[in-house]
Amino acid sequence: MSDTDLLIDKLFHTGHLEEDEYRCLIDGRTDELAGKLAALAVQKREGIYGKDVFIRGPIEISNICRNDCYYCGIRRSNTECDRYRLTQEEILACADTGYELGFRTFVLQGGEDPFFSDDVLCSIISEIKSRHGDCAVTLSMGERSKESYQRLYDAGADRYLLRHETADRTHYGRLHPEEMSFDNRMRCLQDLRDIGYMVGCGFMVSSPYQTSAELAKDLRFIEEFRPDMCGIGPFIPHKNTPFRDEEQGSAELTCYLLSIIRLIYPSILLPATTALGTSDVVGREKGILAGANVIMPNLSPVRVRKKYELYDGKICTGEETAECIRCLEGRINKIGYRIVVDRGDIRKE
């Protein structure tokens, strides 16, 4: 067996590689290796989830953000961004529509908008839970204090998505302004875990200054932290950010990493992200075939979808949710999978 075949074998059987071994696997990437990894990842996933694909409905509640991340289209310095914030009624209406369409998880996502205080969010969370008691509520609202996370959890929130963005401190500093801190990001993830949330982390693939060394650290971080979910997608530049001229990440590398992550932690919930679908017209299908098992069709009102533009060219901003879900269902069925009406909790091996 070649060196890389031995590494794949070790990963498959132990879920573990050293940092330099991950680097070697990433640097040695070929179509053939990608095919092998994907076949093994699919085998592991099918043993746990069969052909089921879970759906989550993100509701993009605000594009107002106090942060200034260099990569993000809704950063506070982007004066071209047309800002909005949904009302409680609008958010609840999105959840009601989603429920009728078969969604059993709602993801409230947004910029770090001070309007969404604990009181405001708690009231929305408890209303969604009282209307749709069989659904999970996931939050993706950025960094908050432990007390705040606790209050939101007590109001009924089940899960929290907070991408770590990069597990390398120096790299983190190159993607964010000085006032943001790697340590605080990690503190938040630990607090969320300690409180009892199901926790999702994640990172962008081919973000500026990222090499296989940083990616290897991300993979080691996933081994150690063992998140319930992990969102990864290619970096895609946005025209009104300092990274406007940087190169876009590839769907192929993203899929390669999805397969590796599935082998690290076979039960993990792995979305084929919208960014993956934006970088390649059949990116989400490729993601599923590489080991992903979740898709996240947008539940936001059509009038705001274009405004929640984290990167250029974001797909699915024109059609109503019902159309989106029909389109995705067709795509998923075509590759031999099915979308299920389910909360989509993690299933342990």
Q: Which residues bind ligand SAH (CB under 6 A)?
A: 71-72, 109, 111-112, 140, 142, 162-163, 165, 204, 233, 235-236, 238, 275, 310-311
Cα angle 180-183-188, degrees, rounded to a multiple of 5: 90
Q: Which is nearer to ligand SAH, 218 or 285 (CB)?
A: 218
CB of 5 to ligand SAH, least distance (A): 32
Q: Which is nearer to ligand SAH, 15 or 313 (CB)?
A: 313
Cα angle 244-247-253, degrees, rounded to a multiple of 5: 140
How far from 303 is each of 84, 308, 320, 324, CA to CA, in Å? 10, 10, 10, 15
Q: Which is nearer to ligand SAH, 11 or 136 (CB)?
A: 136
CB of 12 to ligand SAH, least distance (A): 28
Q: What is the largest CA-CA distance in the chain?
A: 60
Helices 251-264 and 212-225: angle between axes, nearest 10 degrees: 30
CB of 69 to ligand SAH, least distance (A): 7
Which residue intervals of 50-117 are DSSP H helices? 88-100
Q: Which is nearer to ligand SAH, 21 or 252 (CB)?
A: 252
Q: Is 102 left (phi over 0), alpha (psi -120 to 50) or beta?
A: left
Nearest alpha-carbon partner for 246 in 283, 203, 204: 204
CB of 275 to ligand SAH, least distance (A): 5
Nearest alpha-carbon partner for 311 in 78, 45, 52: 78
CB of 239 to ligand SAH, least distance (A): 10
CB of 180 to ligand SAH, least distance (A): 10
